[in-house]
Amino acid sequence: MLVILLNCVTLGMFHPCEDIICDSERCKILQKFDDFIFAFFAVEMVIKMVALGIFGKKCYLGDTWNRLDFFIVVAGSYEPLGFLCSPPPEQIKRGWI
């Protein structure tokens, strides 16, 4: 529960329009917290999958809340891999502002 609260606080502190290029100290600290939170939830998911099994009625993916957690962790894993297919932030044009 404490990690969920920490995640809410760090999300509230992040400024996506100002932090396109993460070069400020605040942005770097928030990025480290984000990495820690993602790793925590990913490890939690793997531990639960090992303990409960993956498929079946009483296994990990048999519970609706665990399916939501699985979706969130999988979706969150695309952010660190995003640099493989997206241009660097300094090449992104901000024409909508």
Q: What is the pTM of this model?
A: 0.69
6, part of any domain: no
17, part of any domain: no
Q: Which residues contact 78 (CB under 8 A, 6 or more apart)?
A: none
56, part of any domain: yes
Count the domains in the chain: 1
Place of tokens 């999988």: 74
62, part of any domain: yes
28, part of any domain: no
Q: How far apart are the first and last CA of the chain?
A: 37
Which residue range is the domain that position 53 belongs to? 37-80
13, part of any domain: no
Each residue of 38-89: pLDDT tens digit? 889 899 999 999 998 888 888 998 888 999 989 988 888 877 666 555 555 5
